[in-house]
């Protein structure tokens, strides 16, 4: 009898536990279904059209305008060209940009059939293999962060020294697929995790034509979008409308705003002459595009122009694509 009683008690306890577990499962399921159906559906609102897609293979070099591009987690790609995957560095591995060497904006880097081509004013074109596995890997520094780059060889180094005309050694490095990207130095909390190759901060930068036109109307000499080095240029919207776009969809691509783009002295380099003025259009931007006092810990005294984005869903971008703001 004792054995039978123990068995019955054990059965009753297991049955009670099963009922409790099942009840909890039903409650969680109901909660999940309730969230699914009570959550507001996404709404796509047309906000503009893609007018330009620009890839900057060489950091601080000339942009390449393309009709279509892959939008990857690490930035835009067109064929063998990837945005900001080539970098000029010093002998010690420190980055060199148009801030220090304005004439870099006159350099073009293109890729075709496994070879890269460097060209610039009054220079013979230099072709060299994209993949040079026997060359050394250099430890580089970008805004204090470590990142690697494959050295592109002595001939490329001599070519850069002749072009820049300085008594200093410069080297060209290439970010390869197996190399680890660097994390953005942005210290804002709750930002999505992302990595970049050689861009300043984020994989993608977006700017509207209307914002550029608004700035040009305040200047003695107008400027173009290329001076500000965006990847995606948007038309058919009002000036600075992009400031309010948190999540956008272009084709199948989804992008999320990280922050506004704080501007520096590099904007005063004329992309057609390689001459730096250190004044305009930066001074004018500072007159009306500074951040709110509550955001000064992020942007300090830098004026805001354009938006920095991360890629939430990869895909293909095309000039002429409609841009939608995602809202709920």
C-alpha triplet 295, 299, 302: angle, nearest 5°:
130
According to DSSP H, which parts of 193-313 are helical?
Answer: 209-216, 282-288, 296-299
Q: Provide the residue-wise pLDDT of the chain in tens; the chain has 328 residues.
A: 444 444 445 444 544 544 444 554 544 455 555 555 566 789 999 999 999 999 999 999 999 999 999 999 999 999 999 999 999 999 999 999 999 999 999 999 999 999 999 999 999 999 999 999 999 999 999 998 999 999 999 999 999 999 998 789 999 999 999 999 997 655 454 456 688 999 999 999 999 999 999 999 999 999 999 999 999 999 999 999 999 999 999 999 999 999 999 999 999 999 999 999 999 999 999 999 999 999 999 999 999 999 999 999 999 999 999 999 999 8
Is the Cβ–Cβ distance between 68 and 54 less than 8 Å?
no
C-alpha triplet 84, 86, 87: angle, nearest 5°:
100
3-state secondary structure of 226: helix
Q: Whole-angstrom Cα distance, residue 124 to residue 282?
A: 34
In this structure, the number of other CB atoms found within 10 A of the CB of residue 298 comes to: 16
Q: Whole-angstrom Cα distance, residue 123 to residue 119?
A: 7
The model's pTM: 0.87
Q: Whole-angstrom Cα distance, residue 16 to residue 10?
A: 10
DSSP state of 219: S
Q: Are strands 204-208 and 232-235 parallel, antiparallel or unpaired?
A: parallel
Is the Cβ–Cβ distance between 69 and 317 less than 8 Å?
yes
Going across the sheet that includes 126-129, the strands are 108-112, 115-119, 126-129
Q: Whole-angstrom Cα distance, residue 286 to residue 129?
A: 43
Is the Cβ–Cβ distance between 240 and 271 less than 8 Å?
no
């Amino acid at each position: 009898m004792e054995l039978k009683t123990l068995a019955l008690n054990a059965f009753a306890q297991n049955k009670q536990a099963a009922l409790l577990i099942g009840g909890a499962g039903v409650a969680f399921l109901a909660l999940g279904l309730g969230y699914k159906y009570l959550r507001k559906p996404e709404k796509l609102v047309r906000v503009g059209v893609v007018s330009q897609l620009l890839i900057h293979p060489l950091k601080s070099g000339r942009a390449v305008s393309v009709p279509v591009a892959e939008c990857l987690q690490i930035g835009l790609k067109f064929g063998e060209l990837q945005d900001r995957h080539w970098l000029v560095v010093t002998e010690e591995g420190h980055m060199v940009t148009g801030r220090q060497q304005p004439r870099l904006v006159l350099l073009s880097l293109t890729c075709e059939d496994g070879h890269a081509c460097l060209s610039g004013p009054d220079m013979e074109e230099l072709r060299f293999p994209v993949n040079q596995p026997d060359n050394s890997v250099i430890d580089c520094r970008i805004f204090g962060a470590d990142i690697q780059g494959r050295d592109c060889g002595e001939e490329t180094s001599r070519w850069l020294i002749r072009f820049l005309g300085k008594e200093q050694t410069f080297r060209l490095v290439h970010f390869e697929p197996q190399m680890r990207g660097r994390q953005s130095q942005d210290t804002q909390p709750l930002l999505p995790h992302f990595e970049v190759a050689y861009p300043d901060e984020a994989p993608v930068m977006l700017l509207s034509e209307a914002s550029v036109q608004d700035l040009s109307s305040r200047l003695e000499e107008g400027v173009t979008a290329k001076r500000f080095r965006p990847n995606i240029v948007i038309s058919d919207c009002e000036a600075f409308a992009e400031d309010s776009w948190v999540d956008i969809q272009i084709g199948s691509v989804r992008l999320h705003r990280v922050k506004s783009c704080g501007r520096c002295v590099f904007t005063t380099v004329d992309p057609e002459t390689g001459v730096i003025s250190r004044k305009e259009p930066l001074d004018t931007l500072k007159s009306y595009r500074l951040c709110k006092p509550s955001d000064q810990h992020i942007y300090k005294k830098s004026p805001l122009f354009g938006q920095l984005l991360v890629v939430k869903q990869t895909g293909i971008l095309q000039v002429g694509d409609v841009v939608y703001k995602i809202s709920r």
